[in-house]
Structure 1
């Protein structure tokens, strides 16, 4: 396409004449070189020159016939794009048809890429909250370089969420979930990964964080939830409980299980608190 546009100064309204000029020059280039060499050396052989001229003319004619045959389908397509009664002056040039085809292919590729991106987003993003879903969370962790797979894993659970649905309906429950995800995302770093793990549970990966830093970040969210509640149950601000576990790049399932155990301890201890996973006992 770029070569076509670059040669538009040669017979801009006729692709056939443009092709003829290019073929004529290309096939006669050796003959021109021979003529220049003969003039400079005084060794021009008229018989050989005439034979070469005839051969290049025949070659040009054969090339043009072949090119014309290749262009016939494009001309047929140009005719099909317009009504049968359209005057010849309104028919597009072959270059216009090529540009139309190029534009259509480019547009189709762009739309296909957008559809693929949309499907990927739908497969990895929770539609209600806009954060990652379980699959997207695990995929993002798997895509990290090995040296960046370290930090803390936290599992969060909204306290008494079932009562929100029972007392105020599922629409209010959906609003609370979306508001909680937005609150957490607003108070986390850009490097941290947040996902809706399922139901009212969420998971967070604090990259390059120790447990003290992760716990402090979650405590800041809890304080914000009390000062500016996203909702209330029996007059008390909606809170959350969390379990935090250090992750050093080993199996992620193990870290998630230990964080979930710490979350259970937080629930058993009265909710609205953050517990750390117990250290692993080293076997002798």
Structure 2
């Protein structure tokens, strides 16, 4: 753009003529250099001079023809854009648009294409990281949000949650009711956690929560509060009883998150084997049990 503005004094209203002038001058630089050297030394070989002159003229002519051919589509594009911008305008005898108008039209087209591409990328990114049924993050999105956290914020508790007897919900009440229940449960989790916490659908009827900067007691209290509300204000019933959930909880202190998730998952299965509708904490490794 700086070069474009710097050359505006050359045919300021014609991009084509400006390019032609620059091409003509630059292709003749070798010839002008040879003439200058010959004049300074007095040793001009006329045969070489004629050959160099003819070669320079042929190169300039080829370059000018090439530039003209390359500019024809730009001319047509600018003309079409003018017609679309001013419907009804008589374009029977088109003229070369002003340079600024061509550049602005081209830049506008590039911006539109870039915006459309960026929007498509954003849509694909959302589709890849968002669960379409519940509107919260899917497993990939949940892990991506944890990966995006700075190291100082990768501290807290991981909870893996499973809706109790969900298969019976689908079998007895139907898949539509099961889908509704999943959506309502995701909304319940979102409304009962903090903004800094990360919520995701882990898969099927399982969900995950990262309680940022929370100790196990705080995370356990939050889950217990959600469980109590599930009993008092059920999002669904099965056999006349409120639909409940089981959860496994594990502290995460910045190490590999997969290890904390695995330990929370083990705690979840202990909760389900112990009768469901309860929260279990991950067992501490032997090295920390007596620390």
The aligned counterpart of 1:258 is 263
Q: TM-score under structure 1 normalisation?
A: 0.72
- Whether 2:164 is the aligned partner of 1:159: answer yes
Alpha-carbon distance between aligned partners in 2 of 1:74 and 1:261, rounded to the nearest angstrom: 67
The aligned counterpart of 1:243 is 248
Aligned residues of 2:131 and 2:137 also touching (Cα < 8 A): yes
The offset of 1:253, in angstroms, is 2.1
Aligned residues of 2:142 and 2:199 also touching (Cα < 8 A): yes
Alpha-carbon distance between aligned partners in 2 of 1:17 and 1:167, rounded to the nearest angstrom: 75
Unaligned runs of 5+ in 2: 23-60, 81-89
Matches within 5 A, 1:174-253: 174-253=179-258
The offset of 1:73, in angstroms, is 5.0
The offset of 1:141, in angstroms, is 1.8
The aligned counterpart of 1:80 is 76
- Whether 2:173 is the aligned partner of 1:168: answer yes
The offset of 1:4, in angstroms, is 7.0
The aligned counterpart of 1:123 is 128
The offset of 1:228, in angstroms, is 2.2
Unaligned runs of 5+ in 1: 24-64
Aligned residues of 2:14 and 2:96 also touching (Cα < 8 A): no
The offset of 1:149, in angstroms, is 1.3
- Residues 1:19 and 1:263: Cα distance change in structure 2 (over 3 Å): same
The aligned counterpart of 1:277 is 282
Alpha-carbon distance between aligned partners in 2 of 1:180 and 1:7, rounded to the nearest angstrom: 65
The aligned counterpart of 1:57 is none
- Whether 2:139 is the aligned partner of 1:134: answer yes
The offset of 1:244, in angstroms, is 0.8
Q: TM-score under structure 2 normalisation?
A: 0.71
Deviates more, 1:183-192 or 1:113-122: 113-122
Alpha-carbon RMSD across the aligned residues, in angstroms, is 3.4
Count residues with an aligned counterpart.
242
Aligned residues of 1:129 and 1:177 also touching (Cα < 8 A): yes
- Residues 1:170 and 1:87: Cα distance change in structure 2 (over 3 Å): same
